[in-house]
Amino acid sequence: MSQRKKEGVRGAILEAAFRLFRDHGYSETSIPAIARAAGISTANVYVYFKSKLDILFTVYEPWLQQRLDRLDRSLRRIASPEKRLERLLLVVWGELPQEANGFANNVIQALSTTGRGEDYSPHLRQLFQQRVAAWIDGCLDVGPRESAVLAGVVLMAFDGFAINVHLAHGLGCDRKTAKLMAGRIANASGARKQAA
């Protein structure tokens, strides 16, 4: 007889997982620890989720979506394309990797320990890259193909900053770094849009 899923149990799993991932990291969080924190059996976790990676991505998507929506609202208020690009880089490289005790690092940990046979979906990466590409396209007159390439580079740097946030002497992105890189990218594109 199959178990009936209860939304309250699913929510408890997600809340427990978020706290544990945030406080201890992906690698140090186990399915049994998530089950204990949610007040259920380990077997019951698998009624709701296929794997720890599935739990992480279920928790991470709304977390990331909220931050991207907030960034979108912030970027809409900036008239200068170069200043928008600077703000984009500062948030993606500087602020986002540090939020919720470096929660973005959990995705890096998860992906670096995922085997080829695991059920990895690039959905979140694609969503993130598409949003960043659209913002870049709004800052630079480079076209969608080049914006997608630049967005990929921005996200690769994001991965590095997400890792470095936990290192004692890791590199971070501050306003000065974001301004320098925004200027270089804008100059390299060869075609800055004029502020309206």
**Could you tell me how many helices (H) and strands (E) the chain has, helices first?**
10, 0
157-173 average pLDDT score:
86
Lowest mean pLDDT segment, chosen from 36-40, 100-104, 133-137, 171-175 = 100-104
180-191 average pLDDT score:
83
Domains of the chain by residue range: 1-49, 58-189
If one compares 107 and 130, the residue with the highest pLDDT of the two is: 130
The CATH number of 1-49, from 3.40.50.300, 3.20.10.10, 3.40.50.620, 1.10.10.60, is: 1.10.10.60
Alpha-carbon distances, residue 181 vs 75, 133, 152 (angstroms): 17, 16, 15
Alpha-carbon radius of gyration of the chain? 19
**Which of 138, 154, 147, 131 has the alpha carbon at shortest distance from 195?**
138
- Sign of the dihedral defined by the CA atoms of residues 54, 58, 59, 65, in that order: positive
As beta bridge partners, residue 192 has: 140
74-99 average pLDDT score:
94
User: How much of the chain exceeds pLDDT 70, in percent?
Assistant: 92
